[in-house]
A and B are shown apart, each in its own frame.
Chain A
Amino acid sequence: MATATENAPAPPGQYPPHPEGLIGGSYDTVTLGDKIADVVIGDYPTPKAWWGWFLFGFALLQALVIGVAYLFWYGTGVWGLNQPAAWGLAIVNFVWWIGIGHAGTLISAILLLMHQKWRTSINRFAEAMTLFAVMCAGLFPLIHMGRPWLAYWLFPFPNNMAVWPQPRSPLMWDAFAVSTYFTVSLVFWYVGLIPDLAYLRDAARNRLQRLVYGVLSLGWRGSAYHWRRYEKLYLLLAGLGTPLVFSVHTIVSFDFAVAVVPLWHATIFPPFFVAGAVYSGFAMVVWLAVPLRHYYGMKDLITDRHLELCAKVMITTGMLVTWGYSLEVWMAWYGHSQREWSATMQRMWAGPYWWSYWALILTNSILPQLLWIKRVRCNELMLFLIAGSVHIGMLFERYVIVITLTRDDIPGAWGRYAPTIWDYAVMFGSIGLFVTLFCLFLRFLPMISITEMREFLPFKQGGRDGHSCMENAK
């Protein structure tokens, strides 16, 4: 431990630049807290763009409301589903959203265990992204049921029909995995928020804010005893969240891989899905971080260095999924399975949806190669566009997997699948739900963890030069 004089805060003013470029400007614990909290308590005027995005999201949300109402009234026949393609955009969207959610847990849990300092300024909004993405994801299996009001039948409970759900089925695994994932993400997020809510209570500008944040902060007072338990809980939640995030997407991939369908029934699916999830999630983190930097002036806290690191995670996971695509083809050929090989040919070449496979390869594997070039990945606009390409690519990836169903073993059983306007209504409507929730989060909760950022500040600026959760957690 350094002596008191050595670590005494320097007088406010110009501090030396952060050695790793992870925080810009000249912040101490007070100005840093104000910078983040002012957005919430109203001292920082709500940007006009916030209203634009909120109204855009809220308008799109109406498409979801109408789409779901129509679906519930007429049944799942309003979607383009039929035999043999009984799974359509609903499952595509489910996997897409839950994949996006995984980056939040990766940032908050895995990077914490890995001592990655750069997680500190992006973990809060990435965790919020996780929660909202899992909400959007969970919606799709629910509304996909013919009788969604019986959704509770998914869970085992004693009932007068004397029947139970089947614990050997991926359907039940999914129900448990996704609901656990949502609950644990919510707990992790809320525990992280408690000290920030206590600060908001103390910084509140009016009675209502003091009351609401005071109730939510549970009377947190920063006692050393409480901090010790808090840090232990935080670390253990990260330790549980890390295998959880892998297991959840593994189970999502089991929805496909447990079925005996050519190209689905493959051991590559779990790791391949997890890599794809992290890939799309970081693309979404970039999509959220760039507007925050511009509209809220957060460039000092979410620095160019953060964006570059996100780009590096994207190129890594992008190469992993590309490897997965090539392994799928390789195994189909090397396995000498005629079914696998004919399904591959249908997917890539002979089938009616060959273009979607190549759209996937273009957007997910080829265009992101530009990130190898430092000038491209350090250019905000280019990074934003490439992240957009990944969003489209990941949607196509799941689409390509699902429409494998249209080409069965017997040509007489072949079919086609085309989404209807009601498929698109819920798909774009779920984006509206996400945008609406995220805008509300930005307005009412601190988008960056104030407490962790204060601790992260260098000693001279009043912090502890890093988030030392692992050292304090006992």
Chain B
Amino acid sequence: MSTPTTETALHGVMAEFLTPDELIAATRKAREAGYSRMDGYSPYPLGEVADELGFPRSEIGAVMFIGGLCGAVVGLLMQVWITSYDYPLSIGGKPFWSWPQFVPITWALLVLTASMSGLFGLLVLCGLPQPYHPVFNVPQFIRATKDRFFLCIEAVDPQFEVGKVTDFLNGLQPESVAEVPE
């Protein structure tokens, strides 16, 4: 956890904005001011916020590629092993290595494993399911899934000082600024 800078431990300081563009602009200003440990919250995806946060590319593509590749390879080898080694049967005089007939199952397993590794990759990388998170302690945050946009500069940031961060966020003309208790 973060080093307590005030009496109660803080997760960070959070500013509330009315529009997506204000959040994007605020994130950019915070990055330019040297803050690096922060997060933006919005009811629908805003790619620009992730860009400004310095997260230009997610890991999901690599996760799904590896997952799909494993599924396809295992699926193909399974069929080859069944039909050529463990239980060889001559079907219509076809060779044991009749690879075109292994395509449908190889493909199905590729899609299945790629999708499942994508889903579990998302959950693991995002740390979900997560029953508790400090941001929900802020009463205004209930509108983060509705119509408000939030920027939270976190206490783990090397430049974090409650007073300075609060002043900085107030300078961005937010709707409100609140300390986020841990």
Q: Which residues of A contact B (CB under 8 A)?
A: 1-4, 7-9, 28-30, 33, 156, 162-164, 166-168, 172-173, 176-177, 180, 183-184, 187-188, 190-191, 195, 198-199, 201-203, 215, 218-233, 236-237, 240, 243-244, 247, 251, 254, 451-452, 454-455, 462-464, 468-469, 471-474
Contact = CB atoms under 8 A, between A and B. Distances in A.
20 contacts: A3-B21, A164-B87, A166-B83, A166-B89, A177-B104, A183-B115, A190-B119, A203-B145, A218-B129, A219-B132, A224-B27, A227-B50, A230-B45, A231-B45, A236-B61, A237-B115, A247-B108, A472-B45, A472-B50, A473-B47
B39 interface: yes
Contacts of A2: 21
Query: A interface, by DSSP: helix, strand, loop or mixed?
Result: helix
A464 B19 CA distance: 10
Given A1-B24, A191-B119, A455-B45, A229 B125 contact: yes
Contacts of A243: 111
Contact of A474 (B58, B130, B132): B58
8 A-B pairs closest in CB distance:
A472-B47, A219-B130, A218-B129, A455-B44, A227-B45, A224-B40, A173-B104, A228-B50
A225 B55 contact: yes
Interface in B82-110: 82-83, 86-87, 89, 91, 94, 98, 101-102, 104-105, 107-109
Contact of B112 (A184, A226, A229): A184
B110 to A, nearest CB: 8
Contacts of B44: 195, 451-452, 454-455, 463-464
A177 B108 contact: yes
A198 B47 contact: no
B87 A163 contact: yes
A118 to B, nearest CB: 18
A155 to B, nearest CB: 11
Given A29-B147, A203-B146, A222 B107 contact: no
Most buried by B among A168, A177, A244: A168
Contacts of A9: 18-19
B114 to A, nearest CB: 6
Interface of B: 18-22, 24-25, 27, 39-50, 53, 55-61, 64, 68, 78-79, 82-83, 86-87, 89, 91, 94, 98, 101-102, 104-105, 107-109, 111-112, 114-116, 118-119, 121-123, 125-126, 128-133, 135-136, 141-147
B61 A226 contact: no
A225 B19 CA distance: 19
Contacts of B91: 166, 168
A472 B126 contact: no
A358 B164 CA distance: 80
Nearest to A197: B145
A282 to B, nearest CB: 23
A38 B95 CA distance: 61
A229 B121 CA distance: 9
A233 B22 contact: no
B163 to A, nearest CB: 25
Contacts of A474: 47, 50, 56-58
Nearest to A185: B115
Given A167-B102, A187-B116, A222-B144, A4 B43 contact: no
A232 B57 CA distance: 9
Contacts of B21: 1-4, 7-8
A204 B100 CA distance: 53
B112 A183 contact: yes
A187 B27 CA distance: 32
